[in-house]
Amino acid sequence: MANPKILILGGGYGGLMTAVKLQKTMNYNEADVTLVNKHDYHYFTTWLHEPAAGTLDPDKCRVEINSLLDSSKVKFLKGTVASINKDKQTVTLESGDELSYDYLVIGLGSEPETFGIQGLKEHAFSIRSINSVREIREHIEYNFARYKNERSPELITFVIGGAGFTGIEFLGELTDRIPELCEEFDVNPSDVKIYNVEAAPTVLPGFDPELVQYAMDILSKKGVEFRIATPIKECTPDGVIIGEGEEIKSKTVVWTGGVRGNSVIEKSGFETMRGRVKVDEYLRAPGHDNVFIVGDSALVINAATDRPYPPTAQIAIQQGENLGQNLVELMRGGTPKPFVFHLKGTVASLGKGEAIGLVGNKKIFGGTAAFMKKVIDNRSLFMLGGLSLLTKKVKL
């Protein structure tokens, strides 16, 4: 009998962790495993707000996928997924190549969710990839350089749409970077305006109110003006229209207001909610025992709240660990284990030396939370690539 073919789509946290767990657990020549990703590197999405602001080198946020894989057990293929045919059990790449599978793991990540807001897709930046954050950083620096000669306020006016974790963490880094840019380009810091616009009635919706207030106080002192319970109605080349028609003129609008699952999944005929598939307890797509979904495209319900868990790196890594082990069990005729998410803590950075977090029932603030954020980041590095990756990318 031929070895079973396991095809993993996407080299994000969920897909890559599935591959890493598989190669640790299965025997040589037990299965033909292929990981497909559009880049030959994995990037740490939870770090991207830093290079976007210019406080971290973008190359620090990525690692070559082949350096994490055992080529005798997992083959890497660079390619972009175009479609999935569930009936034929094939995947077609944009190159035209067709790949067959016995087991399929979909970890294709997310796309920005614009909620139908006019102009966002065309005129706003988003923090979604290495290339996108390079573009944001270079755009910010270019506009500071222009301001010296043009004196147009919109060049150094920033609008961050969305006050979830990505938006708040980017604000923390941006407010750290602004003083450096002001000094470099001889700009008066009081000329810089930073707005955070959020449609929900609070920053970090669903987070502890005391921690939220601490975050707002820190960021307000660093120059952020919050517009809470105020939706963006339209994004234009000149800025945004918010609330009841107020215009904020800005050449830098960064949208962090939400994500949806990869559109390939919906186009391939899977039943989705905002592009995400509600998976069963084994991370399977409904009606397809050999198709598994991990990461941002998987909708996993928290039984305690009857609401979906937010798509985070932490849950994606745990899904990959569970699924990698379960695939080996299925190949060997064993019994897979249901996926159960164990929250290790939630921490949001607010810039250098500042953060907020919840570990168990304990609230942490300031330097303690900032240290815990680094611990969480470093733990993820160790899980993906062991001591080798941790040594190369460790956050001190």
Active-site residue list? 169
Would the CA dihedral through 185, 187, 191, 192 be positive or negative? positive
Structure-block tokens of residue 320 = 């990959």
Distance between CA atoms of residues 363 and 345, nearest Å:
10
Q: Of the candidates 54, 59, 45, which has an alpha carbon nearest to the alpha carbon of residue 112? A: 45
Q: Which residues contact 284 (CB under 8 A, 6 or more apart)?
A: 291, 292, 293
Residue 111 near residue 274, CB atoms below 8 Å: no
Distance between CA atoms of residues 189 and 179, nearest Å:
7
Ramachandran category for residue 113: left, alpha or beta (phi over 0 → left; psi -120 to 50 → alpha): beta
Distance between CA atoms of residues 265 and 283, nearest Å:
15
Q: Of the candidates 395, 314, 307, which has an alpha carbon nearest to the alpha carbon of residue 359? A: 314
Give the DSSP per-residue string, 143-211: HHHHHHHH--GGGGEEEEE--SHHHHHHHHHHHHHHHHHHHHTT--GGG-EEEEEESSSSSSTTS-HHH
Distance between CA atoms of residues 372 and 191, nearest Å:
34
DSSP secondary structure code for residue 58 in this structure? G
Distance between CA atoms of residues 177 and 43, nearest Å:
22
SS3 at position 247: strand
Distance between CA atoms of residues 205 and 329, nearest Å:
39
